[in-house]
Structure 1
Amino acid sequence: MNKLQPIIIKYAGALLLASLLFAACKKDDHFIGGTPTDPYAKSNLTTYDYLKQNKLFDTLVLMIDRAGMKDEINGNVTFFASTNYSIKTLIDVRTKLIQLKYNDENIKYTLDSFPVMELRDSIRAYMYKGNVERRNLSLERQVFKNMVGEDFIIRLVETTDYSGIFSKPVQYLELTKIIDGQDPDPLPENYPDARKDIADIIQTSGILTKTGVLHVLRNSHKFYWIR
């Protein structure tokens, strides 16, 4: 997990986390970062409707609609959702690429520019059959195959960043894209960057919707794992 650099922001974040973690002794299912809330708070909504009612997922919902995948999202699946910020990063990268290709800074890449089949594969890459929940995970690496046949590691990771506040490490859910076989542990100093797996932290985990399980990747996640 990336550490906040400014000291004031760091301590402010620690205090916020402290207030959220106060209820951690009572529940252990639905986490925002490393903290729990009621996992059944949105159980009356399908996964698609949960995303649609939250403005953080406006762009993702548009992608799902364009791909014609509402029914798939509402199937018995676990979905790792990307926020608008994450998808915007990809669109910005695509925009720069086509501007360079055509030497025209006025060209813009938009959602309509994505081929439908690419959209479907990209969204399915964040989908897993059945329920993938924290209670079935541990600190050990577990490999799951997504709905396009790619292998990902889903596990819990611990941080001691708040050891001055809590007696036990805080556990986060982590999703890792395997690039060229699992990285060795420990990682050699000269291990090529191009072969390194790409890991990201889940900012909200364990949302049990009416139709499946929803986890939310942090805003800094780069949609479809662009480096």
Structure 2
Amino acid sequence: MKTLYRLALLLAFGLTVIGCKKAAYLTDDGLHKAEVNLSTYDYLAAHPAGMFDTLLLVIDHFKLKDEINKAKTFWAPSDYSVNRYFKQKADSVKFVDENAQYSFDQFLSEIPIDSVRAYIYNDAPYDLATASTAYTAIKNASNISGFVYHRQKQPKPLWSSGPVYNLYYVKIRGEADQISPDGIVTVKEDDMADMRVYCQTTGIKTASGTTLNILANTHTFVGDFTPRILTGPKIVEAGSTLTFNYDLSIKYDAAGYTGTTVNVLLPRLARFYGVESGAIPALIGKDITYYAVQPDGTLNANSTANAPGHWFDASGKTCSWGKDARIVSELATATMTFNILQYPGQTTVGSTYTVRQSLVYKSKTKGDLNAVFVFNIKIK
């Protein structure tokens, strides 16, 4: 019986074709429905591969079981997503002390409950059948604004004669991306791309009345939706120098290495360099050199934090981790994201710290092209 029960669960997941709704083009007998005779919580708990065990630890910690069961829609992150955020938090601690310990209990204590409720919707069921190709604004249980959902048309597949759509859960960053009916996404040149999270499974109907959409394993739980720079930097191009000037704020923290992230505006940087956006990460360390810019304008190519990255003192000069350190900025080249953190207890509320870094591209036709990133950081 236990084996049959597990098979039934597997079939329930199988009814939801990865990335697309159960639709008439699969058979000639109409729409298929993925309805399960379990509450939302019990369905997640019963997954044969334990795909949501860590997520359920988060739900239990915040006593959200009833909210999950009563939700009209739950955009469920998998354990891969939760573990990715845990690793991100643990790495931020180990950045300064490789022997530091970071427990899961500590991780749970640092997650704001509103960030978890951003995945819960109590107003209506949302899935591929209700989605439009255009963004549709939706209101989550935390009342955090900027979330939308939509479906995106995919290139014509070999296995279907009809159109195929994928469902996306989206956090708008800056100006909303433009999505055409044909599925083409357009991002304004000096803007950040929206955080668009693909749903690997959509439209599971649980016995407690929830529409369950499973987010892609590549999603970073909470981290993908952490507030980022929405207004964008001030950009000045003068000859062979392009400057991005950011005004940031970080809440004072006496105990943790906390801060914010900044995404490089790759389309703008690529136009300045005269290369394709996708080529830039691979050029860093080769044709592009990462520097700290000292207050006197000299360049320091030696990383004093996790490479490529630098610790800065109160004057904006590079230093080592320790009593003089105030701000660290490290570049994650895979995502082209600056991680900017404070040294716990060594910043001052009300103070502004200015740090500068640059990416210098050795162009074969234009010589050295210097992209400077200026971070003016206000401690609140």
TM-score where L is the length of structure 1: 0.76
Please list the CA deviations of residues 81-109 of structure 1 after superposition, one character each: whole Å capped at 9, or x if unmatched: 11111111111111111112xx3223343
- Cα displacement (A) at 1:161: 5.6
| Partner Cα separation in structure 2 for residue 79 and residue 136 of structure 1 | 15
Query: 3-state DSSP class of the match of 2:173?
Result: coil
Q: Which residue identity does 1:76 align to in structure 2?
A: A
In structure 1, what is the Cα distance between the partners aligned to 2:178 and 2:190? 9
Distance 1:146 1:181 in 2: 20
Question: Residues 62 and 112 (structure 1 numbering): CA distance in 2 closer, same or farther, change over 3 Å?
Answer: same
Q: Give 5+ residue unaligned stretches, structure 2.
A: 1-14, 24-31, 180-185, 225-336, 338-380
Equivalent residues in 2 for 1:26-175 (5 A)?
Answer: 30-34=16-20, 36=22, 38-42=32-36, 44-54=37-47, 55-100=50-95, 103-116=96-109, 118-129=111-122, 130-149=124-143, 150-160=145-155, 162=157, 164-175=158-169
Structure 2 SS opposite 1:145: coil
Deviation digits for residues 60-117 of structure 1, max 9, x if unmatched? 00100011111111113210111111111111111111112xx322334333113557
Residues 169-208 of structure 1: CA distance to partner in whole angstroms, max 9, x if unpaired? 32111111112242356323x323xx32110110000000
Contact 1:143–1:151 (8 Å) recurs in 2 = yes
Distance 1:68 1:218 in 2: 24
* Cα distance in 1 between the residues matched to 2:35 and 2:205: 8
Q: Structure 2 CA distance, aligned partners of 1:109 and 1:181?
A: 36
Contact kept? 1:67, 1:116, Cα under 8 Å: no
Q: Aligned in 2, Cα 1:70/1:135: closer, same or farther, shift over 3 Å?
A: same
**Within 1, Cα distance between the matches of 2:93 and 2:199?**
31
Greater CA deviation, 58-67 or 104-113? 104-113
Contact 1:48 1:73 survives alignment (8 Å): yes
The alignment partner of 2:59 has SS state of helix
Q: Secondary structure at the match of 2:153?
A: strand
Unaligned stretches of 5+ residues in structure 1: 1-28
Q: Which has the higher strand share?
A: 2
Corresponding residue for residue 242 of structure 2: none
User: Is the contact made by 1:174 and 1:201 (CA closer than 8 Å) also made in structure 2?
Assistant: yes
How many residues get paired? 192
Give the alignment partner of residue 212 of structure 2, picking from 202, 211, 214: 214
TM-score normalized by structure 2? 0.47
Q: Return the letter of the residue paired with 2:206.
A: T
Q: Which moved more, 1:79-88 or 1:126-135?
A: 126-135
**1:147 shift after superposition:** 1.4
1:178 aligns with 2:172: yes
**Helix, strand or coil at the partner of 1:157:** strand
Distance in 1 (CA, whole Å) between partners of 2:140 and 2:67 is 13
Between the aligned residues of both structures, percent identity stands at 31
Q: Name the SS of the counterpart of 2:52 in structure 1.
A: helix
SS in structure 2 of the partner of residue 134 of structure 1: coil
Q: CA deviation at 1:146?
A: 1.4
Partner SS, residue 114 of structure 1: helix
* Secondary structure of the structure 2 residue equivalent to 1:94: helix
Q: Distance in 2 between matches of 1:206 and 1:114?
A: 30
Give 1:49 shift.
0.6
Report the secondary structure of 2:168's partner residue: strand
More helix by share: 1
Distance 1:181 1:146 in 2: 20
RMSD over aligned Cα, in angstroms?
Answer: 2.3
SS in 1 for 2:67: helix
> For 1:117 and 1:72, how far apart are their aligned partners in 2?
21
Partner of 1:191: 190
Letter in 2 for 1:109: Y
Instruction: Give the whole-Å Cα distance in 1 for the aligned partners of 2:17 and 2:161.
Output: 19
The Cα shift of 1:126 comes to: 0.7
CA contact (8 A) 2:121 2:140 kept: yes
Q: Give the equivalent residue in structure 2 for 1:12.
A: none
Cα distance in 2, alignment partners of residues 116 and 213 from structure 1: 28
Query: What secondary structure, in the 3-state scheme, does the structure 1 residue paired with 2:111 have?
Result: helix
Could you say which structure has the larger radius of gyration? 2
When residues 191 and 173 of structure 1 are mapped into structure 2, their CA distance, relative to the original with a 3 A threshold, is same
Structure 1 CA distance for aligned equivalents of residues 130 and 21 of structure 2: 17
